Amino acid sequence: MNETPEKPAAAKKATAKKTAATKTATKTAATKAVAKKAAATKAVAKKAVTTKTTAKKTTAGTSAKKATAKPAAKAAAGKTPAKKAPARKPESRAAMVRRARRINRELAELYPYAHPELDFTNSFELLVATVLSAQTTDLRVNQTTPRLFAVCPTPEDMAAMDPERLEELIRPTGFFRAKAKSLLGLSAALRDRFGGEVPGRLEDLVTLPGVGRKTANVVLGNAFGVPGITVDTHFGRLARRFGWTTAEDAEKVEADVAEIFPKSEWTMLSHRVVFHGRRVCHSRKPACGACAIAPLCPAYGEGETDPEKAKKLLKYELGGKPGQRLKPPADYPGQPAPPMAPPAAAS
């Protein structure tokens, strides 16, 4: 068995001194390492704050806009007077066009299933449904047209309708007297001037009673494959929030947007923007905190920025609710809309 011989006293003392020195050196090195780590952490934290600040500045286009947008929204609700927005750093035309096209690409990823939200099976049905959609929702139109088209499926049938009977059929869509007059007029015009067919040219369509550029573009884009920008209330609002236009007039908005995007994109761009307006970027309370294109939007902050609260503002398939079409396209990820509820039975 091997045993370690005992050290003499002087040797023991030297060893103890050496151990103490080693311990001190280790402790100093460790302290230095901790201090170095702390400094590094501090630097990272500082960088994060800087990044966050920069992101805050750029994400919303301008934080100044954000700061002033809320009072403006409150003022709209009659709570506090709107303050004047401070001047924003101007964006060059080229940068705006790049950002606009990126928004379109992001919306295409977000809504690959974007489509017209009116149910139709041919150009005449689409034309009628679009006329009926004025001042009401597409859902209400979709719940109304199955009965209407069962009674009068062609322009000839509709033109021969008793006005009161037609008014009764379209009553749920509102403004039914004026709309019935337009439908009777446009059906007669299709029968008498266009051989019972819906024409595929804008200049012909706008000559029909009750048909303006918006309706004509919807029909051209979705029944004839002719590119068109559809400026409804949602499209106009979002185009202004995105900074694509400052115009309020629909024709001016259409002209401004047409200069930003290639013609081939016009129809689908219209659907995507309208989809986003209906689901996320609402008129009164946009769901900014749940908006996928917030980093590209100069109006970020006009609505709810808290992610959880914003999520509750989402509509249709994004909010887990039925869509507007009773017969949506096959790729629509949400549930179809319900048919019109039958009138309550008399007691």
Q: Which is nearer to ligand SF4, 114 or 205 (CB)?
A: 114
Q: Which is nearer to ligand SF4, 167 or 302 (CB)?
A: 302
Are the C-beta atoms of 143 and 326 separated by less than 8 Å? yes
Q: Supply angle C-alpha 142, 146, 148, rounded to 5.
A: 105
**Which helix or strand (DSSP H or E) is residue 41 part of?**
helix 9-59
Closest approach of ligand SF4 to the CB of residue 285, in Å: 9
Closest approach of ligand SF4 to the CB of residue 77, in Å: 16
Closest approach of ligand SF4 to the CB of residue 291, in Å: 3
Are the C-beta atoms of 118 and 130 separated by less than 8 Å? yes
Active site residue 232: yes
Q: Which is nearer to ligand SF4, 139 or 280 (CB)?
A: 280
- Find the length of the chain: 347
Q: Which is nearer to ligand SF4, 159 or 294 (CB)?
A: 294
Residue type, 78: G
The one catalytic residue among 70, 181, 232, 285: 232
Nearest to 118 by CA among 107, 104, 98, 133: 133
Q: Which is nearer to ligand SF4, 140 or 278 (CB)?
A: 278
Q: Site residues (CB under 6 A) for ligand SF4?
A: 241, 280-281, 286-288, 291, 293-294, 297, 299-300, 302-303
> For the chain, give me the number of helices (H) and strands (E)?
14, 0
Closest approach of ligand SF4 to the CB of residue 276, in Å: 7
CA 45 – CA 43 distance, rounded (Å): 5
Closest approach of ligand SF4 to the CB of residue 216, in Å: 27
Closest approach of ligand SF4 to the CB of residue 102, in Å: 13
Nearest to 332 by CA among 345, 343, 321: 321
Active site residue 256: no
Q: Which is nearer to ligand SF4, 126 or 281 (CB)?
A: 281
The one catalytic residue among 65, 66, 179, 214: 214
Are the C-beta atoms of 336 and 325 separated by less than 8 Å? yes
Q: Which is nearer to ligand SF4, 120 or 275 (CB)?
A: 275
CA 177 – CA 171 distance, rounded (Å): 8
CB under 8 Å, gap of 24 or more: what pairs does 197-201 form?
Answer: 197/123, 198/123, 198/124, 198/127, 198/223, 200/123, 200/224, 200/226
The residues, any chain, with a CB within 8 Å of residue 252's CB and separated by 6 or more, are 245
The residues, any chain, with a CB within 8 Å of residue 50's CB and separated by 6 or more, are none
In our burial notation (b when 16+ CB lie closer than 10 A, e otherwise), range 130-157 reads: bbbbbeeebbbbbbbbeebbeebeebee
Closest approach of ligand SF4 to the CB of residue 271, in Å: 16
Catalytic residues: 214, 232
